[in-house]
Amino acid sequence: MSVKRFFRVLLGLALLAVFVYCMYCNYQVAPKLLEPEGWLPTVEVPAPVEETPEPVIPDFIPVESESSEPEPSAEPTPEVTPEPAVDPDSPEGRAAAMGLPAPPEIDIDSWEFILANDYNSIGEYAPQGPEMLEGQPLDSRIIEPMKAMVADTRDQGLSVYLSSGYRSYSDQRYLYNRKVAQYPPDGKDSNGRWIVLPPGTSEHQTGLACDITDVYHEFKDRSLEETAMYQYMSQHCQEFGFIVRYPADKEEVTGVMYEPWHFRYVGVEAATYIMENGICLEEFVSLYRDIYSAENPAPEE
Same domain, yes or no, for 138 and 208? yes
β-strand partners of 162: 212
Same domain, yes or no, for 27 and 97? no
259 is annotated as an active-site residue: yes
| Confidence category of residue 219, pLDDT binned at 50, 70, 90 | confident
Same domain, yes or no, for 122 and 192? yes
What was the pLDDT predicted at 299?
Answer: 60
Same domain, yes or no, for 148 and 16? no
Phi, psi of 59, rounded to the nearest 5 degrees? -65, -35
- Per the domain annotation, does 70 fall within a domain? no
- Per the domain annotation, does 138 fall within a domain? yes
Same domain, yes or no, for 10 and 107? no
72-116 pLDDT tens trace: 666 777 777 666 788 999 999 999 999 999 999 999 999 999 999
The answer to whether the beta carbons of residues 227 and 149 sit under 8 Å apart is no
What was the pLDDT predicted at 251?
Answer: 95
Same domain, yes or no, for 141 and 11? no
The answer to whether the beta carbons of residues 171 and 212 sit under 8 Å apart is no
Same domain, yes or no, for 248 and 106? yes
Same domain, yes or no, for 109 and 14? no
Residue 27 CA from chain centroid, whole number: 106
- Per the domain annotation, does 95 fall within a domain? yes
- Per the domain annotation, does 105 fall within a domain? yes
- Per the domain annotation, does 114 fall within a domain? yes
Which CATH number belongs to the domain containing residue 257 in this structure?
3.30.1380.10
- Per the domain annotation, does 63 fall within a domain? no
| Confidence category of residue 253, pLDDT binned at 50, 70, 90 | very high
Least confident of 3-17, 190-204, 261-275: 3-17
Same domain, yes or no, for 246 and 160? yes
| Residue scoring higher pLDDT (49 or 197) | 197
| Confidence category of residue 53, pLDDT binned at 50, 70, 90 | low
Provide the strand spans (E) within the chain. Answer: 131-133, 136-138, 161-164, 209-213, 242-246, 259-265
* Active-site pick, 259, 283, 300, 301: 259
- Per the domain annotation, does 239 fall within a domain? yes
Same domain, yes or no, for 156 and 278? yes
| Residue scoring higher pLDDT (67 or 54) | 54
Q: How many domains, in total, are found in the chain?
A: 2
The answer to whether the beta carbons of residues 259 and 268 sit under 8 Å apart is no
What residues contact 131, with CB distance under 8 A and at least 6 apart? 137, 138, 139, 140, 143
| Residue scoring higher pLDDT (120 or 60) | 120
20-38 pLDDT tens trace: 776 766 666 554 444 444 4
Q: Which domain holds residue 165?
A: 91-286
Same domain, yes or no, for 21 and 117? no
State the chain's mean pLDDT as an integer. Answer: 85
Helices 143-155 + 228-236 axis angle, to 10 = 130
- Per the domain annotation, does 76 fall within a domain? no
Same domain, yes or no, for 15 and 116? no
β-strand partners of 164: 211
Average pLDDT rounded to a whole number, residues 239-252: 97
Largest distance between two CA atoms of the chain: 194
